[in-house]
Amino acid sequence: MRHVTLPDGTKVPALGQGSWKMGERGADRRAEAATLRLGLDLGLTLIDTAEMYADGGAEEVVAEAIAGRRDEVFLVSKVYPHNAGGARLTQACEASLRRLRVTVLDLYLLHWRGGIPLADTVAGFERLRERGLIRRWGVSNLDADELEELGAALPDCATDQVLYNLQARGPEFDLLPFCEGRGMPVMAYSPVGQGGALLRDAALRRVAARHGCSAARIALAWVLRRPGVIAIPKASDPAHLRDNAAAPAVALTEADLRELDTAFPPPRRKQALAML
């Protein structure tokens, strides 16, 4: 498994696990936790979740998955924008910790920007870090100009989690270079797209056929081709999870990349940051 280095020198797997939509159906929770545990067995030890997902239900699924294995896991959660300041930030973090059944988060992210000033959120994150409730903080769905607003705090921002896949290449124009130049990894959510449209693309299927694998594996390998990107796909079952876990072994050729560039052209100008 290839690793990515965070600004503080910590190494994390380039391929992790997402949990969006987990915990929404009680009948599925045991199977979802089992799939996450299989991911840990396969080296996908970074798990991303959020208080928003299933109103905390996803965090509860993650808690079941990592029970007895906390030391193996790099645990990420996210705070709602309306909770990202003052006492509400502390309360939100403590609630996530209770649902996850842990005492500290490895990384705590602002889920997206809201009405609370970024400086206030950063100050709150630092207080949480001083109390030992989080080890690092970062952001999600912020563009390069918004990251610049962090000013002197920017070197302490561990990552920016954004929508990035073959259909959403806007970050390549300026956000990815901005982060790469500062040693800040980008965490790609929905790296194989949403709704399945991407995976039905003819060019992607041709590349997959040449490699004898699924279109999803190629889409994920494409995201992982950049050294400063961490991908956090969500897997719904063991077969899907094993397919994801094989993606880092795929070596895309120059011909593959040219064909994918033709089907999904890279950005030629600044684009508004897409988000789900």
Quick one: tokens of 155?
A: 């070197």
Please state the length of the chain: 276
The helix or strand, by DSSP H or E, that contains position 186, with its residue range, turns out to be strand 186-189
pLDDT in tens, 63-96: 999 999 999 999 999 999 999 999 999 999 999 9
Q: How far apart are CA 24 and CA 160, in angstroms?
A: 26
- Average pLDDT rounded to a whole number, residues 150-176: 97
At 146, the pLDDT band (50, 70, 90 cuts) reads: very high
- Average pLDDT rounded to a whole number, residues 95-99: 98
């809201």: which residue's tokens?
A: 114
- Average pLDDT rounded to a whole number, residues 253-275: 97
Measure CA 181 to chain center: 20
Taking the whole predicted model, whether its pTM rises above 0.95 is answered as: yes
DSSP H helix total and E strand total for the chain: 10, 9
pLDDT in tens, 134-143: 999 999 999 9
pLDDT of residue 196: 83
Q: How far apart are CA 5 and CA 228, in angstroms?
A: 8
At 236, the pLDDT band (50, 70, 90 cuts) reads: confident
At 204, the pLDDT band (50, 70, 90 cuts) reads: very high
At 45, the pLDDT band (50, 70, 90 cuts) reads: very high
pLDDT of residue 194: 87
User: Integer distance in angstroms from the first to the last C-alpha of the chain?
Assistant: 28
């910590």: which residue's tokens?
A: 10
Asked if 34 and 67 count as a contact pair (C-beta separation under 8 A), the reply is: no
- Average pLDDT rounded to a whole number, residues 207-215: 98
